[in-house]
Amino acid sequence: MPPGKKLDPRPISGDTSVCDLVDNLFLAYNAARLREACRLFTQKIVQPDVTIGVTLSGALTPTGLGYAALVPLIRAGLIDWVVSTGANLYHDIHRSLGFELFGTTPFTDDVALRDQQLIRIYDILFDQDVLFKSDDFLYECMRGPDFQRTMGTAELHYMLGRYTQAREQTLGTEYVSILTAAYEAGVPLYTSSPGDSTIGMNVAALQLWGNQLRFDVERDVNETTAIVYDAMQSDGKTAVIIFGGGSPKNFMLQTEPQIQEIMKLEEQGHDYFIQFTDARPDTGGLSGATPGEAVTWGKIDPEQLPDSVVCYCDSTIALPIFAAYALANVQPRPLKRLYDQRDTLLERLSQTYAEARAKRLGHIEGSSG
């Protein structure tokens, strides 16, 4: 008899749930990889001692998946920290401000849309004025006295979340943005390339007006590294859940090379790795970031390769299924509120690094003497 589990699907009915589909009908190919990712998450990753990081790239929030899938996961304590493109956070505030986005066909006349002052994101449409008014909102927020200093992106997004929460409450809308949910749950939101988004463009324009807001990208690197290092040193584990790829993926994964290669602190790599992507390693789209390659960089603990899953699937398909399965199968976890601990974690990492450097330099001097 061949090794493995017998494939024995049952007929789909009108009562078939998402969990039934995943467990009993996602049997092979990337459907099976999605099942493995869902089970890995619900059976191992959601344990209390695991710190869960999520990356977001691609236009996920214009589809509404921020509110529909990510916000419930944040509120259930199933996401502890996030690295996102700035675009996902920017486009997520449109609905917070009361604006509407519409579904359309991707096969349309873009010149005609331009004449009508309509913006298209593949098969999503919204009025150009939505951008202008969202920019006005950001301008007014970031011109405030609390923003007149240099800060990391987690702090910037936390402060903006206070304003999106207030606007959502004032409008009486049911919609909750990722910024708002993260602000309420103490989940730090980082942007790996802060200048590469409309939020960053607004910060740059305001600088020309004399605004004092600046990005502290070095703090972002050190804060994210401190989050991962503290989790490991506290006898915990870390998991990375990657939706898409790009800069957010690398920024989250580079925390381990930062610890091992740059700071020369002893570490083994992330314990759990799940990625949903439509990129391919042979064309360079996944270069250095498949689980096997990531092991060579120190990003993934080599002993944990069995707990690594890559599902070649559109994130807009995988994310709602993944979220529904998780929320149906696990209880909410207590919030870690890592945002509130940033200064403490950073100071702890700084002290450890200083001690390690002093010890290493003393060893070098002793050897040369």
- pLDDT of residue 288 exceeding 60: no
- pLDDT of residue 323 exceeding 70: yes
Average pLDDT score over residue span 225-238: 94
- pLDDT of residue 287 exceeding 70: no
Non-local CB neighbours of 139 within 8 Å, separated by 6+ positions:
202, 206
Average pLDDT score over residue span 45-72: 96
Q: What is the pLDDT of residues 109-161, one digit of tens each?
A: 999 999 999 999 999 999 999 999 999 999 999 999 999 999 999 999 999 99
User: Residue 97 corresponds to which tokens in the numbers above?
Assistant: 């401000």
Q: Give the span between the Cα atoms of 253 and 299, in whole angstroms.
A: 6
What pLDDT was estimated at residue 301? 67
* pLDDT confidence bin for 337, thresholds 50/70/90: very high
Q: Give the span between the Cα atoms of 172 and 169, in whole angstroms.
A: 5
Q: What is the pLDDT of residues 54-63, one digit of tens each?
A: 999 988 999 9
Q: Catalytic residue, from 5, 44, 237, 299: name it.
A: 299
* pLDDT confidence bin for 82, thresholds 50/70/90: very high
Q: Give the span between the Cα atoms of 367 and 165, in whole angstroms.
A: 58
Q: Percentage of residues in the chain with pLDDT exceeding 90?
A: 80
What pLDDT was estimated at residue 363? 65
Domains along the chain with CATH numbers: 49-219+234-255+268-337 (3.40.910.10)
Task: Tally DSSP H helices, then E strands, for the chain.
Answer: 16, 11
For residue 130, the Cα-to-chain-centroid distance in whole angstroms is: 25
What pLDDT was estimated at residue 304? 64
**DSSP codes joined into one string, 114-182:** HHTTEEEETTEEEEHHHHHHHHHHHHHHHTSGGGSSEE-HHHHHHHHHHHHHHHHHHHT-S---HHHHH
- What's the residue count for the chain? 369
Average pLDDT score over residue span 20-26: 94
What pLDDT was estimated at residue 280? 77
Report the b/e string of 70-80 with b at 16+ CB within 10 A: bbbbbbbbbbb
- pLDDT of residue 292 exceeding 80: no
Average pLDDT score over residue span 69-75: 98
What pLDDT was estimated at residue 279? 81
- Cβ proximity of 290 and 281 under 8 Å: yes
Q: Give the span between the Cα atoms of 167 and 160, in whole angstroms.
A: 11
Judge whether 299 counts as a catalytic residue. Answer: yes
Rg (CA), the chain: 22
**Pairing between strand 124-127 and 189-191?**
unpaired
pTM: 0.93
Q: What is the pLDDT of residues 294-311, one digit of tens each?
A: 667 667 666 666 778 999
